Amino acid sequence: MNEYIVVDLETTGLDPYKGCEIIEIGITEIVNDKIVRNYSRLIKPKGIIPNFITSITNISNSMVENEESIEAVLPRFREYIGDKTIIAHNAKFDLKFLNYYLKEMNLEPINNYICTLELLKASTTYKGKNKKLETACAYYNIENKNAHRADSDTLATAKLFLKVKDER
């Protein structure tokens, strides 16, 4: 049985080392090449969500004010994924945040991953103008109804992975 957990984060900026925080974690599970679950969780940051992030993600400060903190959510998330392979589009970004916070909490980092952006680079058939998730989804006719929200992006990334995983 092959099991993967597709992960996407929405954050308050680009760098956790400069105080940027995770405000949403999304997962989509793939088991034996079938999508079996799609889920996301908003997270209350310590700081405020900048207006430009709200304009991109539609996640506002009022939406997260009663949500749990990253310290409450991330240990459960780490336990849930266990040793399954993570899939992400531009995985370096998501893993930079996840592993930063996992290290802060003395939890095991995530090292076992597949990056769909790298799969696109290795693809012998992909001819999109760039490797952005939106561009790749349009190229493969994959709907991403709510781009820049973690549940929608993980579902789109899962479908993209299933299309390109054998295109090398």
Q: What angle do CA 136, 137, 142 make, to 5 degrees?
A: 150
Look up the pTM and report it.
0.95
Spatial CA neighbour of 155 closest among 28, 42, 33, 4 = 28
Q: Which residues contact 21 (CB under 8 A, 6 or more apart)?
A: 11, 12, 13, 43, 45, 46, 47, 70
The predicted pLDDT at position 167 comes to 80
Into how many domains does the chain fold? 1
* Mean pLDDT score across all residues of the chain: 96
Q: State the CATH number of the domain containing residue 86.
A: 3.30.420.10
Which tens digits make up the pLDDT trace of 24-65?
A: 999 999 999 999 999 999 999 999 999 999 999 999 999 999
The predicted pLDDT at position 160 comes to 98
More confident residue, 145 or 53: 53
Which range of residues forms the domain containing residue 9?
3-164
Q: What percent of the chain has pLDDT over 70?
A: 99
Task: Judge residue 150's burial from the number of C-beta atoms within 10 Å of its C-beta, 0-12 exposed, 13-18 middle, 19 or more buried.
Answer: buried
